[in-house]
Amino acid sequence: MSMKKHTEPTDEEQRLLAAWRTFFETHCKADFAALAEIEDSVWGFEIQWDVLEAHQGLGLAFMSDRQKCLDSGTLVLEEQFALHNLEPRPVIRIAGFSELNRYHIEDLRMRDRTRFLRFDAVVHSISRAMGWLKRSAYSCRECKHEWIEKEQLARARRKLEICPMCMKNGIAFLRDGGKHEDLPDPRNFGMDLERNYYEDVQYMELFDPNSLRNDELPEDVPTIMAVVSDEYVNQFQPGQCLTVNAAIGLDHLPSRDYLRDTRRILRLDVHSVEEGFSLHEE
């Protein structure tokens, strides 16, 4: 007999959801009231790190599993927005991280990948705004199963060959003595374009403030690529001074000349942005 896949949240996930609910109820009621008149389609909901860190282990949860923590918080925040009849889609932006997360762009190396760090940075250039397929939706014509696949930025879309539910049901059917010729075709599925989810993104080249000379924007300076999303798109200009809180990711070498090139460059996956330098040493 095949193992059943449980869909209920684990004890840890329930604890995390409960912590986020009490956090928003305790600290954010006034914020919800103030947002009643906004008309933006996406709203960056800013939370200060010291407040989050002090609440029922949310700071530890964020640093231990950033995406899981943010997914739980977003689920609760969307519930709160719905309860307060707020139209925008909320995005959690945590700001004001501690000195322990401080780093310099010019010191980044491959050993820093996956770390979550805080930088002073100057915008060197920006790309045009674009979008990417963040979650692709599929539906099976045989068993009517619908599912979502998470995609990766700047990577090939996942190649699917069979419906996972047809495969699961087919295995159980064969174990019970069924015949192969009686199985439905698991390849009879398609992408549901209306349910695909796209995210606005933009690339920015950033450089370390130590490269500034007489407050002029240098032409030839080492830069790092940063990716901003949603409400941050088209919000920054060359020469702007920022504090950037980001996870360190990897990207392909832009000038690679063959498909399986193993060379990689570092990339900042930006979580939140603050105006001005907050950590730069004069």
* pLDDT score at 3: 39
Token digits of residue 59 = 């700071």
Sign of the dihedral through C-alpha 13, 66, 93, 231: negative
Residue with tokens 């956090």: 23
CB 86 within 8 A of CB 78: no
Token digits of residue 102 = 């401080």
* pLDDT score at 221: 86
Q: What is the pLDDT along the chain (282 residues), one digit of tens a residue?
A: 333 444 677 888 899 999 999 999 999 988 888 888 888 889 999 999 999 999 999 999 999 999 999 999 999 999 999 998 888 999 999 999 988 889 999 999 999 999 999 999 999 999 999 999 999 999 999 999 999 999 988 788 888 999 999 999 999 988 888 888 888 899 999 999 999 999 999 999 999 998 877 666 667 788 999 999 999 999 999 999 999 999 999 988 877 777 788 888 999 999 999 999 876 544
CB 117 within 8 A of CB 101: yes
* pLDDT score at 11: 84
Radius of gyration of the chain (CA): 23
* pLDDT score at 266: 94
CB 49 within 8 A of CB 98: yes
Tell me, what amino acid is at 195? R
* pLDDT score at 260: 81
- CA-CA distance, 44 to 70, in Å (whole number)? 13
* pLDDT score at 279: 60
* pLDDT score at 1: 31
CB 73 within 8 A of CB 93: no
Determine the distance from the C-alpha atom of residue 20 to the mean position of all C-alpha atoms in its chain, rounded to a whole number.
18
Stated as kind and residue range, the H or E segment containing 208 is none
- CA-CA distance, 202 to 46, in Å (whole number)? 20
CB 262 within 8 A of CB 219: no
* Number of Cβ within a 10 Å radius of residue 54: 11
- CA-CA distance, 217 to 123, in Å (whole number)? 9
248-253 contacts, C-beta under 8 A, 24 or more apart: 248/108, 248/112, 248/113, 248/114, 248/115, 248/116, 248/117, 249/113, 249/114, 250/113, 251/154, 251/225, 252/154
CB 247 within 8 A of CB 119: no
Structural domains for the chain: 11-95 (3.30.1640.10), 102-131+198-275 (2.40.50.140), 135-196 (2.20.28.10)
* pLDDT score at 30: 86
* pLDDT score at 257: 77
